[in-house]
């Protein structure tokens, strides 16, 4: 296989995420990791191009060799180590980010099975891409083919959820079956080092997630076990979108309620400064009430003109608009949209409450979030 391995991305016909291919159990031999799967993919690329000398540039996570016990053949581990030492494999902490940077800079096609949902904010060119990514697939006879992968368009909520899951994985906060360690994530932590503020909820809007080391939440900087400070306070983020652009963001604490409208009063979210006079005339002084109760965000129509709402939908396709029954609380989930008047929408960011997270984990054992720190009662942040 060595003569197919390029020493630089510029000289390669394809970029290949080796960690992904080696772990793709749907092709090749049984077992969690096998270098023979690379050989099958190389044969597929030769068949696709008609070029017996097709070349690939390999990028791998450092964790690939870190899990050497999962290789069925120790000779494969020695061979892979030789490739790394000889410059035939670029070994990095985050192969996803590196392969995407190379793909963006060179325009070279990528062989992978990953949809890179968690990287789409940094790499928006992935959205809707139908030509640059190839996925290995098994044939009935045991051989492998590579087929173009339609990357589709993912919603902001989907991207945010996947980013959150990736963040948990990096911190060792995923348990069996990729289930987040809720007993750790839903607690506040403090480093015993007096000057360390990495986990202090009161020093900033963002705090780090603890890193699990030897089964204990540990400070990223000082390497010492963290002290449990009790349940993590909840906060949700609301966004005002006018004409398709986010113009303001607000925070909402657990147990609080805010009226949103043209002039809702001192404790509310006033939109008059964001709207043209014509549009403002179609928004009530108090249009909707948004509250956070029991770890759930609710929205209620209190307007004179009526309010519509639609769900986040999936894969970039929103749900249908529905009229909100006046005076009735409705769940307001990440990615949902509440339309006060055409062109003026209130939505939630992808960040979620601890209680919402726990419910989602129980349901799908997937999207999870580093929870933002508590904030003051609704305050405007441009």
Q: What is the DSSP string of 180-233?
A: B-HHHHTEEEE-SSTT--TT-TTS-S--PPPEEETTEEE-TTT--BPEEEEEPP
> What distance in Å separates the CA atoms of residue 305 and residue 283, rounded to the nearest whole number?
7
List, in order, residues 6 or more apart from 335 with CB less than 8 Å away: 155, 156, 157, 158, 311, 312, 313, 347, 348, 350
**Residue found by looking up tokens 């890193």 in the block:** 211
> What distance in Å separates the CA atoms of residue 368 and residue 358, rounded to the nearest whole number?
8
Residue 381 clears pLDDT 60, i.e. is over it = no
Structural domains for the chain: 2-148 (3.40.50.11980), 156-231 (no CATH), 235-381 (2.60.200.20)
Pair type for strands 380-381 and 56-61: unpaired
> Above pLDDT 90, what percent of the chain?
45
pLDDT tens digits along 334-364: 778 999 999 999 988 755 565 555 444 444 3
The arithmetic mean of pLDDT across residues 128-137, rounded, is 92
From residue 183, alpha-carbon distances to 160, 162, 216, 357, 372 in Å are 21, 20, 12, 12, 17
pLDDT tens digits along 234-259: 677 788 989 888 788 888 887 889 99
> What distance in Å separates the CA atoms of residue 202 and residue 195, rounded to the nearest whole number?
14
More confident call, 130 vs 381: 130
Count of all residues that appear for the chain in the document: 382
pLDDT attached to residue 380? 33
């Amino acid at each position: 296989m060595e003569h197919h391995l390029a020493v630089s991305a510029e000289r390669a016909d394809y970029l290949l995420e080796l960690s992904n291919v080696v772990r793709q159990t749907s092709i090749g031999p049984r077992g969690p990791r096998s270098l023979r799967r690379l050989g099958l993919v190389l044969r597929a690329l030769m068949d696709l191009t008609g070029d017996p000398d097709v070349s690939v540039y390999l990028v791998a996570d450092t964790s690939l060799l870190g899990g050497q016990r999962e290789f069925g053949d120790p000779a494969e581990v020695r061979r892979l180590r030789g490739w790394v030492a000889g410059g035939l494999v670029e070994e990095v902490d985050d192969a996803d980010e590196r392969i995407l940077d190379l793909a963006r800079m060179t325009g070279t096609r990528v062989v992978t099975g990953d949809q890179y949902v968690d990287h789409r904010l940094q790499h928006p060119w992935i959205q809707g891409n139908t030509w640059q990514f190839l996925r290995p697939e098994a044939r009935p006879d045991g051989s492998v083919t590579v087929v173009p992968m339609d990357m589709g368009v993912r919603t902001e909520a989907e991207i945010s959820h996947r980013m959150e899951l990736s963040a948990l994985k990096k911190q060792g906060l995923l348990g069996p079956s990729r289930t987040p360690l809720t007993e750790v994530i839903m607690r506040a932590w403090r480093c015993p080092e007096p000057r360390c503020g990495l986990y202090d909820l009161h020093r900033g809007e963002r705090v780090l997630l603890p890193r699990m080391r030897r089964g204990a939440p540990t400070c990223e900087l000082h390497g010492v076990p963290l002290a449990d400070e009790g349940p993590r306070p909840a906060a949700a983020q609301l966004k005002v979108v006018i004409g398709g652009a986010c113009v303001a963001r607000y925070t909402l604490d657990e147990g609080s309620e805010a009226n949103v409208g043209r002039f809702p009063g001192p404790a509310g979210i006033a939109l008059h400064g964001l709207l043209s006079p014509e549009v403002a005339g179609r928004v009530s002084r108090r249009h909707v009430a948004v509250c956070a109760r029991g770890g759930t965000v609710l929205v209620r129509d209190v307007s004179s003109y009526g309010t519509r709402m639609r769900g986040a939908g999936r894969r970039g396709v929103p749900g249908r608009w529905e009229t909100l029954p006046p005076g009735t609380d409705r769940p307001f989930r990440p990615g949902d949209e509440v339309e006060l008047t055409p062109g003026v929408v209130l939505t939630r960011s992808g960040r979620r409450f601890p209680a919402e997270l726990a419910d989602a984990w129980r349901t799908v054992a997937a999207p999870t979030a580093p929870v933002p720190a508590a904030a003051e009662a609704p305050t405007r942040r441009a």
